[in-house]
Amino acid sequence: MAKMEFKAESKKLLDMVINSIYSKREVFLRELVSNSSDAMDKIYYRALTDDQISFDQDNYYIKLVPNKDTRTLKVMDTGIGMTKEELESNLGTIARSGSFNFKNENEIKDGHDIIGQFGVGFYAAFMVADRVTVTTKSIDSDEAYQWQSQGSDGYEIKPVQKDEPGTEIVLEIKENTDEDNYDEFLEEYRLRQIVKKYSDFIRYPIKMDVTESKPKEGSEGEYEEVVSEQTINSMVPIWKKNKSELTDEDYENFYKEKHYGFDTPLKHLHINVDGSIRYNAILYIPENAPYNYYTREYEKGLELYSNGVLIMDKCADLLPDYFSFVKGMVDSEDLSLNISREMLQHDRQLKLIEKNINKKIKKELQSILRDDRDKYERFFKAFGQQLKFGVYSDYGANKEVLQDLLLFHSSKEKKLVTLEEYVSRMPEDQKYIYYAIGDSIDRIDKLPQTEMVAEKGYEILYFTDEIDEFAIKMLMNYKEKEFKSVSSGDLGIDEEENEEAKEKEEENKELFDAMKEVLAGKVKNVRASKRLKSHPVCLTAEGDISIEMEKVINAMPDNQQIQADKVLEINVDHEVFQSLKQSYEKDKDKLNLFTNLLYNQALLIEGLPINDPVEFTRDICKVMV
């Protein structure tokens, strides 16, 4: 029996398969099981057109036989088998796939599709085996043959005795090293684990002799080891079942079995699409955010299957970042897979699935918002911040998708409201959507800047998340209504009051100039306020950078420091203003004292640090004496 060499390019590819293409050694079993499934599918297709062949699915199965004593793992199937020519063609030339050729020659429309199309999957066995022996008999031949190889050195083919069609692959498992444990691929529990993860939904039974500890008959408290052949895969995936057959409990059990989360999902979506792109999906909207959700360590993505075989644990390309909280899986028959099942081409099919899934998720969230407000608010408490990040990121490219899913606390409703609800009840004379920013609802309630807007009867949205104002700045407007901070320079409310404030500012220009000089470098201006009613003082900002933005950006770890153009606004109708006027006319030192006190008071109201707390306490003492 002459030894045959792999072609030079095949040697290079084999080395890549063993060392580079697959990220996890365990996938070798997925590849071999998929090939066995294909071998049985081929008999099924032949039976459709060949009266000489009958197909009884009960006769077709895959069996795993680990043997620790001989350090071998056998993967056998009752499929179509291979002739000598097919052995040489399919296993002698790496990256040639008999399944791929078969798929091209047979148009498949009945829900059975070929899995092992990729031509290199078989060679993943060399990641865990020193030697691989394939014994096979074709349904079309009376002869059986054996293919054997130790890797890149080449292979041998010889005739052998085998009674029934099918294929047996024997892997001689490598010895352990300091870095790698190969024993795991001889352990029953580990093999079951790998099958459950990758091949649970192969349509044929995957069998294995399983050892279990059971009570010994006739004796109490004694146990014995019992070996029995068991089917270790589920075969029929939940997503292939009719929705009418399934209950909420079935979906919840699948959620827990797949370890998508430890909570009970708020909602599930079961999607079946059979059009220009064919796929099934089960998606979940969780109730709680994972502990690391808002960290860089969190990895988004859906499980991606190709014809029931898991090819990616987390396919990030199926979800945009703003819907990264969604858990679940997608199974498609139309994906283009390159070299190995882990190398997914970013092709038109994947983009179509992503686009369709995103529409489904948004529609489902809108449905929950409309029909079950309490449930949506629970969802928003966990993931609303992510939707706001989505509005802000990518320069607002996704704001149209997300704006109707946002909720903010309302000064009028005292609860969360949508932008649609806010705009629908705006008075005719109200020009803007007003908002106020603070660390909490209680603090915003007490902000001096809200007084005039509230007195007008206008609703105010309360922003308590750091991302809120950044998102709104990106959103710019909603239904042609611009957003306006209650701390902005021009509230656009009452021209009469504006004129009155301007007149008083002109009357007291010298006083305000003197105060501005005292606060040189701290504020851009000091002026009469048109927004304050009962409070004596507040800070507002001019320009694009608000005081809240200054606080958020300066607290970031990159040490970027910015400063808002602050304006100290004085309530000229407050009794404190009379003290300011008197001190300006009679005691400039006292004016300096009052000015610094009012400025520091305004800083405290905004939640900003006082530059010199010791000096501030001294100033208070001076007033008290």
Numbered residues of the known binding site: 31, 35, 77, 82, 90, 97-98, 117-122, 167, 341
Instruction: Quote the longest CA-to-CA distance of the chain.
Output: 119
**Cross-sheet strand order for the sheet of 477-478:** 416-417, 408-410, 460-463, 433-437, 481-485, 477-478
Sign of CA dihedral 31, 34, 40, 46: negative
Instruction: Give the span between the Cα atoms of 428 and 443, in whole angstroms.
Output: 29
Cα–Cα dist 269/282, whole Å:
6
CA dihedral 528, 486, 602, 535 (to 10 degrees): 60
Are residues 282 and 270 in contact, defined by beta-carbon separation less than 8 angstroms?
yes
The CA-atom distances, in angstroms, between 625 and each of 136, 220, 252, 618, 622 are: 104, 91, 70, 11, 5
- Which SS3 state, helix, strand or coil, does residue 597 take? helix
Q: Identity (one letter) of the amino acid at 591?
A: L
Per the listing, tokens 């409990």 go with: 249
**Across the beta sheet with 267-274, what order do the strands follow?**
267-274, 278-285, 327-332, 302-306, 309-315
How many CB atoms neighbour CB 220 within 10 A? 6
Binding-site residues for ATP sit at 31, 35, 77, 82, 90, 97-98, 117-122, 167, 341
SS3 311: strand
